[in-house]
Amino acid sequence: MLGGKVCLVTGGTRGIGRAIALELVKQGARVVVSYRKDSTAAEEALEKTSTLDGELVPLRSNLADPVEAESLIAGVIERFGRLDVLINNAGITADGAFATMAADDVERVINTNLAGTIRLCMLAAPHLVAGTGCILIVSSLASVVGKEGQVPYAASKGGLNALTRLLARRLGIHGVRVNALAPGFIRTDMVKSLPENSYRHIIRSSALGRMGEPEEVAAVAAFLVGAASSYISGMILRIDGGFHR
Amino acid sequence: MKILSCVIIDGEGPGDTARHLAAELDRRGHRAVMLGSDLDPGYFTDLSARVHPRRVIFAPSARDECDALDLDLAGGFPEHLAGLVEAGIKRFLRLVQAAIHALMGNGGGQIWVADWDDTFEYHLPLPCTPLQAEARAASVRALAKECARLGIKINSLLLQPVAEMFQLEQFRDAREELKTYALRYRPVSCATVAAQLCNFLEQPDLPMAGAMVGLGTGICQGHLIQ
């Protein structure tokens, strides 16, 4: 259990990020969730935690902006005096044929997913080292298997896999663990709006033959930031129902 | 054998493999243009219109990420690593997009993206660019699926330390300390690695795409790239 731990979940008001934040609060953690613009989703997440053991605090922040990233970490420290767990979940995608993709779309994905996460890890590291905390990075199955139409997204997530292993080696000596999740096809708001025939073939490519639920990812995230995984670091864990295509 | 027109990007990095590759291509009667890391994607497009490349090779980036990471972890303003990686990946993606356009206009071809295997970075001062290397490799896996129908085969090369990069004593010392990577490692020359890559480049219909090919005789431990 995570009673009393101070956690920061970026992009924590929707989809996988929200499921992770709610699971951590259920387990007694004090969780700051950052969001870029959807304050309604932040309020809904807050309502869901009102009867739970832990605490949820939404903070608005655009992590592609270095100044806002610095303010976010400062905000967590100001409120709770420490940071035990950083979960880098915030991310965007710009899908389409790479040969005709606009430079702005490519740059947005790299800025937010890769540079933004690197920057936040560096800002959080001194606080985590002081308390032997941990970092969890939400990567993607796209980084491992490659998928047409997702070139910048795959590149950004591939970079995050390397960051996970590099930070695990550099911070391990201080007792800080660094791991990553690589979720496959998960039932988020984005997927719910798609017609079933557009993703049926993807579901058939997983051994379990179904989509994953955000709560299934959240349970693994809670395990990886909790005491039960105290000897796991530098791992990229696929949560994909046995994807084999 | 048809004469190949090749462009080698970021040719001045450590290990000298790009220079050996250009020499080997020349020896086999092909044309190779080697471009430095200050190359602008616009210049690449202009050059492509003149030389009509059928093969584009990205040599490893020379920017050291591990130094930048250590600086950030020790420093008060953590920005070096993020800036370095961001600039490197954006530039790579712009160039690879320009390379795809060039090859599409020339009826297809091959793209190879080379990076260093830095498994042994903990012992020897190897070029260390794991974030860019893995980001590049991940984009190659996605691109391979997009580009195959365009007649473009794109693959990754994982280069292990070549003989010219270190004195033999440095590996001998490592072996005496029973460093497992050094025990398994037998250095090969830049020229040998370049010759093998040339063999791939000369394949008119390369039967591989999205692959990660390790060259050298070290055995990768998978510390940074799996």
- Compute CA distances A178 → A9, A166, B72, B94, whole Å: 15, 9, 17, 31
> Rounded to two decimals, what is the model's pTM?
0.94
Residue type present at position A9: V
pLDDT score, position A49? 77
Where b means 16+ CB within 10 Å and e means fewer, B43-81 reads: ebeebbeeeebbbbbbbbbebbbbebbebbbeeeebbbb
* Unique residue bearing structure tokens 């480049």: B201
Verify whether the Cβ–Cβ distance A146 to B141 is below 8 Å.
yes
Count the neighbouring beta carbons within 10 Å of the beta carbon of residue A39: 11
Residue B44: its H or E element: helix B41-51
Q: How confident is the model at residue B226 (pLDDT cuts 50, 70, 90)?
A: very low
Mean pLDDT taken over chain B = 87
- Whether the Cβ atoms of residue B196 and residue B215 lie closer than 8 Å to each other: yes
Residue type present at position A208: L
Verify whether the Cβ–Cβ distance B137 to A147 is below 8 Å.
no
On whether the B5-215 domain is CATH 3.40.50.720, my answer is yes
pLDDT score, position A87? 98
In whole angstroms, give the CA distance from residue B163 to residue B185: 10
Residue A117 C-alpha, separation from nearest chain B C-alpha, in angstroms: 8
Verify whether the Cβ–Cβ distance B85 to A118 is below 8 Å.
yes
- Whether the Cβ atoms of residue B84 and residue B152 lie closer than 8 Å to each other: no
For residue B86, the chain A residue with the least C-alpha distance is A115
* A66 contacts on B by Cβ (under 8 Å): 79, 82
A199 part of the active site? no
- Whether the Cβ atoms of residue A19 and residue A217 lie closer than 8 Å to each other: yes
Tens of pLDDT, residue by residue, chain A (245 residues): 788 899 999 998 899 999 999 999 999 999 999 998 877 877 787 777 777 788 999 999 999 899 999 999 999 999 999 999 999 999 998 889 999 999 999 999 999 999 999 999 999 999 998 777 999 999 999 999 988 899 999 999 999 999 999 999 999 999 999 999 999 999 987 777 777 777 888 888 899 999 999 999 999 999 999 999 999 999 999 999 998 87
Q: Show the CA angle centred on residue B142, arms to residues B214 and B148, nearest 5°.
A: 90
- Whether the Cβ atoms of residue B100 and residue A98 lie closer than 8 Å to each other: yes
Cβ-Cβ contacts under 8 Å between A and B: the total is 136
Count the neighbouring beta carbons within 10 Å of the beta carbon of residue B175: 14
Query: Could you state, in order of their start, the residue ranges of all structural domains in chain B?
Result: 5-215
**Residues B108-137: pLDDT tens digits?**
999 999 998 887 777 777 888 999 999 999
